[in-house]
Chains A and B, each alone.
Chain A
Amino acid sequence: MPEALALSAPRRATAVLGEASAAWFLVAPAGIALFLLLLGPSAALLALSFSDWELGAPTLAWIGFENYAELATDPVFRAALSNTLVYVRVVMPASIGLGLGVALLIESGTRLRAFFRAVYFLPVVSLLVAMATAWQYLLHPTIGPVNKLLAMVGIAPVNWLGSSDWVMVSLCMIGVWENLGFVVVLFLAGLTAIPADLYAAAETDGARSGLDRFRLVTWPLLGPTTLFVVTITAIRCLRVFDTVAALTRGGPNNASEVLLHMMYREGFSYFRIGYSAAITVVFLVIVLALMLVQTRLLDRQVHYG
């Protein structure tokens, strides 16, 4: 019966090629594109990470795991890895927590919703390098308005981007500013998808306080959105690069070195492509692990069949 319903073109293909080869034939275009655009470059990257190739060098030697061994003892890499993880651990929860709060406030208000939505999305669409210049001015140790404001309340000036104690704090603040709007917009979309009747039901069921309704309806129904936001924000944070490149170049003294910036420096300043590829592989492994945690563990808990 199902065969009778099938379209005639695939049937002719199966008749000529047999079912299995017809299947290969049909997935081929997508498969080739996938290989050329994603799997091929990744494989090349992995291969390069086992070589000592330098940009422009006519030859290369296979050196096995030497790049990785060097990474394990490289203090700069250790700083970059730990700074990146600190950045993720601070910026991700802060921007998600703040973003959810802002989204709830905007959603519960009646007017100016579109206005706030646009304002919060501004950092996302603006060119970060240009914005970084603005931050550089704001945080300037002598002429920056931030320090002038602090001086007015009697706090000594801080060398925001120049001192190794403060540089990660500054980068994290900028990171939250950068991610907040993105998170807010995603949460707003998630909130509008919650049926209003559920809130009505919660109220008649006796959920008096806003907190009760948040726990009974909003938070669980935002589950899929939250999961998506967590994953995407974690990856955006892991990927931190432009602010570092524009504002600190990893300094002072590697205090703000992060994975992708180090990779960029090794590859395009020192031309050590093999070493740079090894850093990228580490980065990809972290991202993949994150995706696996999402799909395997959390996904099951937030989608209600």
Chain B
Amino acid sequence: MRAEGGRAILIEGVEKAFGATRVLKGVSLTLRQGEFMALVGPSGCGKTTLLRIVAGLESADAGRVVIGGRDVTRARPADRDIAMVFQNYALYPHLTVAQNLAVPLAMRRLSALERLPLVHRLVPGNAARRRAIAARVGEAAAMLRIAHLLDRRPGQLSGGQRQRVALGRALVREPAAFLMDEPLSNLDAELRAGTRQEIVDLHRRAGVTTIYVTHDQVEAMTMADRVAVMMEGEVLQLGTPREVYDDPCDIRVAGFLGSPRINALPGIATENGVSLGTLALPLRAAAAPGSAVTIGLRPEAIRVAPLGLACRVEHLEYLGAETLLHARLEAPEARIVARLPVAAGEGLSRGDAVRLGADWERALVFGADGKRLALHQAARIDA
């Protein structure tokens, strides 16, 4: 699949500043045709701004945007062949659901004259075009199961129904790209899970290249073909959900994905590994001996082990299927969270001494600048 062909999206070196605040610092992303990309990052990192630049609602200070092989950096939103779903739905409150769904079609298929009330009857061919629009609206409504709501106004709908209408307004047309800005953030947890799957199914059916902004990592991991992790106006990593989780390139990416957060333990690089307190780990990182490194360890990689690091239990969270153990590592001073089977947490209580080991081959080593360090060989020790 060529990057610029078909309905792919290319974002190249996009920069944006509001006054003195640099919101986007040179963002580049390439979406393959039909790809579903999740754009995640903490609040305020510039996700919405980037999406609005792709939509043409905001102008970039530098860089370019190519949609479907056409450079649209200077094009108006209406000329970009995109459909956008807004975080607060942005439905027209005075129009019925059917009319809301028809707007994108009417704006493109009918002339200004034909859109006037009454006058449109005088334009030849108008009735046929209107019937075609109504038919398309009906199809989209059926697909989203909102056909019974067509005569209502947005004010008479529940949040979930409004959200469907907003999706429908994007779906009636077949645009080159869908842009969705946290479309599920106003829904309750159950509805969110259901709609998540529906959006994925719709995407599969329509095959339209999609950028999906969210700060919910579960959405990003479960829905997307690839995930772009953005922070402070930069895309730090772009990869499949597996890649960004298992193989993060930066401690900030590792910290953002995964709940509870990855443990960050202070280590020192040595000649033949990394030392963590009294423990010498054969993680031969590409760092000068003696320099400080951070060892990243996912909570699920940690277990109770008789020869492990000495820790003191701070508190336990019983979650039903598992127990989260929050502990304090004594040397070096650090907090540790472990995701344990319920049985392993039994009998522990606050203040108890406990020894924690890990699958050290799953450890990630980061340099002082937060960048991931390559390891020379796989590690294997029993702790």
Residue on B nearest A301 in the bound complex, by CB:
B94
Q: Which of A195, A204, A211 contacts B57 (CB 8 A)?
A: A204
Q: Does A205 contact B (CB under 8 A)?
A: yes
Residue of A nearest to B57 (CB): A200
User: Which residues on A sit within 8 Å (CB–CB) of B77?
Assistant: 200, 203-204
One digit per residue, 1 when the CB lies within 8 angstroms of any chain A CB and 0 when it does not, for chain B 156-170 equals 100000000000010
CA distance A201 to B112 in the complex (A): 18
In the complex, per-residue mask of A265-305: 1 if CB is within 8 Å of any chain B CB, else 0: 00000000000000000000000000000000000000011
Interface size on B, residues (CB 8 A): 31
What residues of chain A lie closer than 8 Å to B83, measured between beta carbons? Answer: 204
Interface: B336 (CB within 8 A): no
Chain B, residue nearest A197 (CB): B90
**Are A206 and B155 in contact, with the CB atoms below 8 A?**
no
Is B107 in contact with chain A by the CB < 8 A criterion? Answer: yes
Q: Chain B residues with Cβ under 8 A from A206's Cβ? A: 78, 103-104, 107-108
Give chain B residues whose Cβ lies under 8 Å from the Cβ of A131: none
Tell me if B204 counts as interface (CB < 8 A to partner A).
no
Q: Mark B168-192, 1 if CB is under 8 A from A, else 0.
A: 0100000000000000000000000
* Contact between chains at A221 and B94 (CB < 8 Å): yes
Residue on A nearest B77 in the bound complex, by CB: A203
Would A200 and B90 count as touching, CB distance under 8 A?
Answer: yes
Known: A212-B112, A304-B94. A203 touches B57 (CB 8 A): yes
- For the complex, is B245 an interface residue (Cβ under 8 Å from A)? no
Minimum CB–CB distance for A143 against chain B, Å: 50
B38 within 8 A of A: no
Q: Are B84 and A200 touching (Cβ within 8 A)?
A: yes
The 8 Å CB contact of B90, one of A201, A209, A212, A305, is A201
Chain B residues within 8 Å of A223, by CB: 94
> A43 interface residue, CB < 8 Å from B?
no
In the complex, chain B residues 75-134 whose Cβ is within 8 Å of any chain A Cβ: 76-80, 82-84, 86, 88, 90-95, 103-104, 107-108, 112, 115
A71 at the interface (CB under 8 A from B): no
Residue of chain B at shortest CB distance from A200 = B57
Given contacts A212-B107, A304-B153, contact A197 B86 (CB under 8 A): yes
Contact yes or no, B94 A203, CB < 8 A: no
Neighbouring A residues of B244 by C-beta, 8 Å: none
* Cβ < 8 Å to A, chain B residues 11-49: none
| B5 CB, min distance to chain A CBs, angstroms | 23
Interface centre among B56, B77, B84 (most CB of A within 10 A): B77
Q: Which residues of A contact B93 (CB under 8 A)?
A: 220-221, 304
CB under 8 Å from chain B, chain A span 171-230: 195, 197-198, 200-209, 211-212, 215-217, 220-221, 223
The residues in A between 214 and 265 inclusive whose CB is less than 8 angstroms from any CB of B are 215-217, 220-221, 223
B60 lies within 8 A of chain A by Cβ? no
Specify which chain A residues have a CB less than 8 angstroms from the CB of B56 in the assembled complex.
Answer: 203-204
Is B50 in contact with chain A by the CB < 8 A criterion? no
Decide if B86 touches A201 in the complex (CB within 8 Å).
yes
Q: Which residues of B from 192 to 209 have beta carbons under 8 Å from A?
A: none
B94 touches A205 (CB 8 A): no
Closest Cβ of chain B to A130, distance in Å, is 43
Q: Which residues of A contact B (CB under 8 A)?
A: 195, 197-198, 200-209, 211-212, 215-217, 220-221, 223, 304-305
26 A-B contacts (beta carbon < 8 Å):
A195-B90, A201-B86, A201-B91, A201-B92, A202-B103, A203-B57, A204-B56, A204-B80, A204-B82, A204-B104, A205-B78, A205-B103, A205-B104, A205-B169, A206-B103, A207-B107, A208-B78, A212-B112, A215-B115, A217-B92, A220-B93, A221-B93, A221-B94, A304-B93, A304-B154, A305-B155
